[in-house]
Amino acid sequence: MPQEIGQSYKSVIPTFADGSSIEEAFYMYHYGNANWSPGQSIPSNSIEGIFSSLDLRITENENFIENLEDTYITRSPSSSSLNTIQATSSTIVPLTIRGAVGQTANLQEWVEDTGSSQIVRARISANGSFSTLGYFSVGSISPSPSVANSIQISSPEHKGVVVRSSLSQTANLQEWQDSNENILLSVDSGGSFVYNIPVENVDTSVPENVVINQSKVGKTIIVTNLSESSVFTITIPSNSTTPMSVGSQINYISKGVQGIQFSPASGVTLNSENGYRRVDGEYSAATLIKVSTNEWILLGALRQ
């Protein structure tokens, strides 16, 4: 009775008599024919047939990979980029990453392997948005760690950023917002700058709320709860205790009859017209401008 020989690659070989030729047995086992001679067909389930098929498939794959490297993927020396994907013509997309239906995982990830864990440094999400972990820089190979976004122009003829409106644009072209999404500065649909000065109401019953510091810069401070019989004094601090940039500006509006006055701390110079430092009554306004390290100018409706 014929029996199967082998495990992964089985070959059918019949039972031979004790006096049979060993050569015929090997021919049967190897070529599937006890009387095989060169030029005859070889059964696919024979050892020779199986290995011939494997050899052909391996050769085909090697040729495909070789052609792939020549046309799409270029292996460069280790001192340069290891792999380059190059289109064979200008109408071919070099690389397409297609998500599954209902894709939720990222389409691409750039991952740092720390040894103990992997950190996703940049990604293209399922909806195609691009984001980075940490700081992102356009045009600069070494962004400053203190700057979130940097655009470096490589040529004096290049525009750094172009914001082009759609036809019949109605929304702002650009907006600068605070952490609560309040618009601080915008470029409207017509290209005009619109500066929205933040307003902060401070109550003199809580004096620490009226202290001058960086958080007040660029705001209009409405000072409330002023009594009719007293004047509330706001001290301008030294740069050594409360550093603020030269050019810092703060607007003040008094909502009390007697109003507010400003007093420079030791080492601080406060200049104003006629040396006046008191806001002239209710709903009068004054502006503080820092013009040097410890020098301020007070402008507005002032009196003695």
Residue 89: how many CB atoms within 10 A of its CB?
5
Bridge partners of 113?
118
Q: Whole-angstrom Cα distance, residue 202 to residue 251?
A: 13
- The residues near 229 (Cβ < 8 Å, ≥ 6 apart) are 258
Q: Evaluate whether 176 touches 197 at the Cβ level (below 8 Å).
A: no
Would you state the structure tokens that stand for residue 60, as one six-digit string? 């085909």
Classify the phi-psi angles of 6: left when phi > 0, otherwise alpha if psi is within -120 to 50, otherwise beta: left
125: left (phi over 0), alpha (psi -120 to 50) or beta: beta
Query: DSSP for 149-189?
Result: EEE--SSTTS-S----PPTT--S-SEEEE-TT--EEEEE-T
What is the mean pLDDT of each successive set of 10 residues along the chain, which is 304 residues long? 54 61 70 73 77 86 70 56 77 92 93 89 86 68 65 81 93 92 91 88 83 92 79 92 95 83 95 94 93 97 90
pLDDT at residue number 91:
93
Ranges of each domain in the chain:
1-89, 108-151, 167-195, 199-303
- Residues 6 or more apart whose Cβ sits within 8 Å of residue 103: 126
What is residue 83's three-state secondary structure?
A: strand
Closest CA to 34 of 58, 54, 17: 17
d(CA 195, CA 247): 16
Q: How many other CB atoms sit within 10 Å of the CB of residue 210?
A: 18
The pLDDT score that the predictor gives to residue 84 is: 77
Q: In this structure, which topology does domain 199-303 adopt according to CATH?
A: Jelly Rolls (2.60.120)
Q: Residue 66 forms beta bridges with which residues? A: none
Please report the pLDDT score of residue 145 as a whole number.
63
Distances (CA, A) of 138 to 177, 196, 240: 21, 28, 36
**Residue 18 pLDDT:** 64
